[in-house]
Amino acid sequence: MATVTQIGTTRRWTMLGLGVFSQAASAVFINGTPFLLPALTERGMSLATAGLLVAMPTVGLVCTLIAWGYVMDRIGERKVLVAGPAIMLIAGVAAATVTNYVVLGALLFIGGLGAASTNGASGRVIVGWFPAHRRGLALGIRQTAQPVGVGIAALTIPAVAAAHGFSTAILVPAVMAGVGAIACLIGIVDPPRPEITGDTGRPVNPYRGDSTLWRIHMVSLLLVIPQGTLWTFALLWLHRDLGWSLPAAGALMTAIQFLGAAGRIGAGQWSDKVGSRLGPLRIVAVAAAISMAALGFTSWAHWWWLAVPILIAASVITVTDNGLAFTAVAEIAGPYWSGRGLGIQNTGQNLAMAAVAPVFGALITAAGFSITYVLAAVIAAAAIPLVPRDSR
């Protein structure tokens, strides 16, 4: 088995790139299906039925994140990064050939099941092959896969569906997944793990007798709510309250996605320089609470000239915790539990994100955007005391 010193710098970064590509393919599959709504409704399908269909990949994702984490801990990430995308490829190709909507929904669910494999995968590969002073940067880059995937989906899925139909559009993420599976089969090497010591012959459960990981999961769950609030409703706010055109509001939100990706990389590099993930995570939680409160106040005061810059800042700040928490969980959980730890982390965040749209949508209807932004600030503030102290 290769050792850390036998893996060169180029090989490390290549494996990181493969992890990003595989996760981006999953993001296209999960986040690209909503862009198929026009094509599905043009087939004569009701909007409610079409909405249920495009949600099936997300259901498959949430149901299997922890299970994939357990599999990763048992057999390694290389096999998972091959098997999961291969499932996406098979399900996507099959979905492109069926006409029965029940079968289509089942195949999209199975595709989401495969997509879940990449959410936590490559975390241990990066922690295992990258030195500690580069892990924050590397996992920050790894966390850019989602906005990159969303961007790819937005650019390709509607255009392909309009020009060539639903069946061809669903092949976009399927083909990406197939390429990723082959590339990971060739390029990913599982890092060595220390031998298990102790009377039981089993790895120590990092959740037993220590609340650190649970606290990080709760912090991430709380901080994803301001993020989800802005991702879900900022475009509507710009259009309805500020009077922006939809193309202009959409362009700003697209630019914010790329700024958020850069913010994740910057936060990771910052954590490397200070030698801590949790210290920067606490500062990000404070900044998220302040920026969301400021957005609520400027929205209430109708200070649009100030509210828009604050929206941009808040949108970037509220996503920078993702890479920090991801890195902390992978490092603290260790090589035998990082898969399950990241599975729990991602499950909590996805469930919270799913609740944002209906709950905060009702709140906006009843009380308006300003109150909603302030509530998101309060939720972010609740995360601050939960951030564990860095033992170092």
Domain boundaries, the chain: 4-187, 212-386
Rg of the chain taking only CA atoms, in angstroms = 21
Give the integer Cα–Cα distance in Å for 184 and 321: 27
**Overall fold of domain 212-386:** Growth Hormone; Chain: A; (1.20.1250)
Give the integer Cα–Cα distance in Å for 351 and 343: 12
C-alpha distances (whole Å) from 358 to each of 31, 139, 300, 353 are 18, 31, 22, 10
Residue 150 has pLDDT above 90, yes or no: no
Mean per-residue pLDDT over the chain, rounded: 87
Tell me the mean pLDDT in the region 72-93. 93
Q: Same topology for domains 4-187 and 212-386, yes or no?
A: yes
Give the integer Cα–Cα distance in Å for 36 and 360: 25
Q: Are 357 and 232 in contact (CB under 8 A)?
A: yes
**Count of alpha carbons within 13 Å of 278, Cβ hemisphere only?**
20
pLDDT band of residue 21 (cuts 50, 70, 90) is very high
29-43, 93-107, 328-342, 349-363: the lowest-pLDDT one: 29-43
* pLDDT tens per residue, range 191-240: 887 776 555 567 788 898 889 999 999 999 999 999 988 887 888 888 88
**Overall fold of domain 4-187:** Growth Hormone; Chain: A; (1.20.1250)
What is the predicted pLDDT for the residue at 381?
Answer: 97
Give the integer Cα–Cα distance in Å for 229 and 18: 30
For residue 235, which amino acid is it? L
* pLDDT tens per residue, range 240-271: 888 888 788 878 887 888 898 899 999 999 99
**Which residue did the predictor score with more confidence, 17 or 151?**
17
What is the predicted pLDDT for the residue at 208?
Answer: 87
Q: Are 160 and 169 in contact (CB under 8 A)?
A: yes
Give the integer Cα–Cα distance in Å for 82 and 87: 9
C-alpha distances (whole Å) from 331 to each of 55, 61, 113, 263, 327 are 32, 24, 25, 21, 6
Give the integer Cα–Cα distance in Å for 356 and 376: 10
